[in-house]
Structure 1
Amino acid sequence: MSDIVTAAVAALTEKLGGDSFDGSAKFVIEDEGAVVIDGDGVRASDEETDVTMTADRETFEAILGGELNPTAAFMSGRLSVDGDMGMAMKLGAVLA
């Protein structure tokens, strides 16, 4: 597992603040790996989810750091979304 994925798991776990996520989402960080968020928490995994969001490392780090709004990243083509758009919006609210 890459250091980026390990850091992403820790950062997303902190952002959830102990709350569970109703549904499932996956972040694919290009050339690094994938992180799944669901009712069981956050973990490095590439399993099937309700929605998959894909971005490069820089975009993902900017979203996690609060420097880039997930909706703006999607609208500018820096973040691709495949699956349940409502679930993506729900996750975006957690990250904001």
Structure 2
Amino acid sequence: MDLATITAGMKERVEAKPAFGNTVKFDFGDAGTIHIDGKNNNHVTNTDGPADCTLKIALSDFVDMVEGRLNGMNAFMSGKLKVDGDMSIAMKLQSIIG
């Protein structure tokens, strides 16, 4: 699964939900970024910019999380997922993305 496919799927799921009031960035390193502007109707782009919360994870680990092979809490505890910024915003993502 590549960044374009993940972005398209996230757009479909996230943009249909009510705005959650914060900005979030998924930073996949050299593979790119996904930015969710929850202040602007949950608009999803691949534009890199500032965010209230940034989640840093390898794209392959993110795919494993999405496909159920990696638990988000385990990823965080093992250092595969790093959260910069407001942790409570990261917790909101479960209801927004799922």
Choose which of 60, 71, 82 in structure 2 pairs with 1:69.
71
Ranges in structure 2 where 5+ consecutive residues have no aligned partner: none
Identity %: 35
TM-score (normalizing by structure 1):
0.83
The aligned amino acid for 1:25 is V
Q: Deviations over 1:29-69 (max 9, x none)?
A: 12211110123311101110000011112111112223323
Q: Which runs of 5+ in 1 are unaligned?
A: none
C-alpha RMSD of matched pairs (Å):
1.9
In structure 1, the partner of 2:9 is: 11
**Residue in structure 1 matched with residue 52 of structure 2 by the alignment:** 50
In 2, Cα distance between equivalents of 1:21 and 1:43: 16
- Matched with 2:94 is 92
Please state whether the residue corresponding to 2:36 is helix, strand or coil: strand
State the 4+ residue runs in structure 1 displaced beyond 6 angstroms. Answer: none
Q: Does the 8 Å contact 2:24/2:36 carry over to 1?
A: yes
1:32 paired to 2:31: yes
